[in-house]
Structure 1
Amino acid sequence: GDSMTGAGIHSGDLLIVDRSLEAVDGNVVVAALDGELTVKRLSKREETVRLLPANTNYQPIEVQAHQSCEIWGVVTNVIHAL
């Protein structure tokens, strides 16, 4: 999709994801939200976890207590197709 174009990630790009890194506030991550994978910027403030798009056409996702959210890994590099 195009929710992360502001971070330089475009549809069809290849993402390099490091699963050994601990995800911290501000990282671009691959997250499994209720079993569906998404790429967003992680925001952690006290007990609140939000997944932030880098495109103003999309709304931030605030992870609710009833939702399953697993941070699958931290995006370290992006490879663009020519």
Structure 2
Amino acid sequence: MEGCGIFSGDLLIVDRSLTPVDGAVVIAVLNGEFTVKQLRLSQKTILLAAANADYTPIVVKAGMEFQVWGVVTYVVHGLQV
């Protein structure tokens, strides 16, 4: 998710009380696995998109186990010494 400013080793602050909206970066559970993705919503589809265009968005379909666990509100970067 480097395209969203999230790098390996960063800490994510997640608000589970927020209602996810189109474009939000979320922690989602998809088929039992946690993932960090950008949520894309339309009237007919739910997509989980990586910030890297090399990865195909995941289309959430009927029968998939899917839950938005929380909305990422802040990213904490460590300082490199």
Q: Shorter-normalised TM-score: what interval?
A: over 0.9
Unpaired runs of 5+ residues, structure 2, are none
Q: Does 1:34 align with 2:15?
A: no
Q: Distance between the aligned counterparts of 2:11 and 2:77, measured in 1? A: 7
What's 1:7 paired with?
A: 4
Give the TM-score normalised by the residue count of structure 1: 0.92
What's 2:61 paired with?
A: 64
Question: Percent of aligned pairs with the same residue?
Answer: 57
Unpaired runs of 5+ residues, structure 1, are none
Indicate the RMSD between aligned Cα atoms, in angstroms.
Answer: 0.8
Give the TM-score normalised by the residue count of structure 2: 0.93
Q: How many angstroms does 1:47 deviate by?
A: 2.6
Q: How many angstroms does 1:78 deviate by?
A: 0.2
